[in-house]
Amino acid sequence: MIVLGIVLIILNVGIVFYNRLVYCENKVEESLSGIDVSLARRYDLLNNLQETVKGQCTYEKETLLQLVNLRKNMSIEEKSALNQSYEKIQNHWIALSESYPDLKANEGFIQLQKALVECENHIQASRRFYNANVSIYNQKISSFPYVLFASICSLEKKAYFIATEQEKETVKIEVE
Amino acid sequence: MVDCHDCFYSDDLISGSLLGKYFIRSDVKIQDVRRSGKTTTVVTTFEGPWIVIDFDKRFKHYTVVKEKEFLDNGKPGGWYSGKKVDKIELEDMRFNRKFVVFSEDGQEAFYLLTPPVMEKIMELEQRTEGRLYLGFIEGKLHIALDNNQNAFEPSLFEPVNDEALERSKAEIDWIKELVMLVDELD
């Protein structure tokens, strides 16, 4: 009877610790979806930006850059790289607009720039949220007693979402 | 505005607009009546200024930042009961040691509480005496300071001197400072 009681207590404690780990993992997944939403939004905005620029700068059609959309099952490293490529494309068009006063004054273009700044703020927030959850999760699976469950369930440390150089500082785009 | 309390008083309502932002403030006192057998005690859970300022940054969910010592109804997320909130751990350990954050949406909490905003909140906390509370609620920023004081209450039996006027001026300056701070945070 006593042995059964001890086994039940150990089992209960095990379930509690395991559930905490699952909760942390779910938080990481939840925050990852936030990154996906922000990246998809940035893709749409950049597409619109390209269309606007194309309409205004006829000589620049050949320089249209290839935007890669977010795919399912992309790893976090691939998403980081995708975000960095979006930043390069965005900087390219913003720099180009400097040579076209009409474009800079275009209401649609100004609105798109504002939306992109807002979108970058959301990406920064989702990156920080994701990385904070990954940090908690990684610390958990490295510490006792969670490390036992992590080895039994083959749980591994998760990768961080790497910030772009621009995100490490502040958003630099200036909207007039 | 505040649920789950038995007594609620407010006075010295001031409203206006500064830097294009509408604000409204009042001195607020909130009390709980607690009964235990034949004993009834009235406990003051908050007393101090409460200011609500327009906040331009768009957000949909409820987020609250409060000093750990801030008194409330003991529910996660504080006074605005009925909200399903999570405790949010931000990346700044200094901030986490001083404040506790609850939000309906973690990502939105990170969106509102950027590193510069956290820095400003910590600076504000250092400059003010009392326990600080900030609530991002329905497009507005609520700032409350639990300092057990009721401002704009000069004594009836003493002449209004420079010292009393300075105290009132300091209260007005504090409102201005908060509105300017919110303008920077937006």
Most B CBs within 10 A among A36, A121, A128, hence the mutation to make, goes to: A128
What is residue B22's predicted lDDT score, i.e. its pLDDT? 92
What is residue B79's predicted lDDT score, i.e. its pLDDT? 57
**Cβ separation B111–A34 shorter than 8 A:** no
The continuous run of DSSP H or E covering A118 comes out as: helix A107-142
Closest-CA residue of A relative to B110 is A125
Q: For A52-73, how does the pLDDT look when each residue is reduced to its tens digit (9 = 90+)?
A: 777 666 655 555 566 777 777 7
Residues of B in contact with A129 (CB under 8 A): 106-107, 109-110
How confident is residue A172, by pLDDT bands cut at 50, 70 and 90? Answer: very low
Q: For A78-118, how does the pLDDT look when each residue is reduced to its tens digit (9 = 90+)?
A: 888 888 888 888 887 778 777 777 777 777 778 888 888 88
Query: CB contact, 8 Å: A81 with chain B?
Result: no
What is residue B146's predicted lDDT score, i.e. its pLDDT? 87
Q: For B59-75, how does the pLDDT look when each residue is reduced to its tens digit (9 = 90+)?
A: 888 898 988 866 655 55
Q: Which of A18, A14, A27 is nearest to A158 (CA)?
A: A27
How far is the C-alpha of B3 from the C-alpha of A62, rounded, in Å?
62
Structure tokens, B67: 């000093």
Q: Percent of chain A at pLDDT above 90?
A: 6
Most A CBs within 10 A among B96, B107, B114, hence the mutation to make, goes to: B107
Percentages helix, strand, coil for chain A, rounded to the nearest 5?
Answer: 75, 0, 25
Structure tokens, B5: 């309390």
Place of tokens 């150089």: A165
What is residue A171's predicted lDDT score, i.e. its pLDDT? 38
What is residue B108's predicted lDDT score, i.e. its pLDDT? 92
Query: CB contact, 8 Å: A106 with chain B?
Result: no
Closest-CA residue of A relative to B86 is A27
Residues of B in contact with A34 (CB under 8 A): 107
- CA A115 to chain B, closest CA, distance in angstroms equals 12
Q: Are B147 and B51 in contact (CB under 8 A)?
A: no
Interface of B with A (CB under 8 A): 89-91, 106-111, 114
Query: CB contact, 8 Å: A167 with chain B?
Result: no
Residues of B in contact with A30 (CB under 8 A): 106
Query: CB contact, 8 Å: A31 with chain B?
Result: yes
The answer to whether residue A175 scores a pLDDT higher than 50 is no
What is residue B25's predicted lDDT score, i.e. its pLDDT? 92
**Cβ separation A31–B106 shorter than 8 A:** yes
What is residue B113's predicted lDDT score, i.e. its pLDDT? 92
How far is the C-alpha of A163 from the C-alpha of A134, rounded, in Å?
14
Nearest to B107 among A125, A135, A136 (CB): A125
What does the buried/exposed string (b/e) look like for B51-86 if buried means 16 or more CB atoms within 10 Å of the residue's CB? Answer: bbbbbebebebbbbbbbeebbbbeeebbbbeebebe
How confident is residue A176, by pLDDT bands cut at 50, 70 and 90? Answer: very low
- Average pLDDT estimate for B88-97: 89
The answer to whether residue A167 scores a pLDDT higher than 60 is no
**Cβ separation B89–A131 shorter than 8 A:** no
How confident is residue A147, by pLDDT bands cut at 50, 70 and 90? Answer: confident
- CA A110 to chain B, closest CA, distance in angstroms equals 18
**More confident call, B107 vs B36:** B107
- CA B4 to chain A, closest CA, distance in angstroms equals 30
Closest-CA residue of B relative to A124 is B111
Q: For A151-166, how does the pLDDT look when each residue is reduced to its tens digit (9 = 90+)?
A: 888 888 888 887 665 5
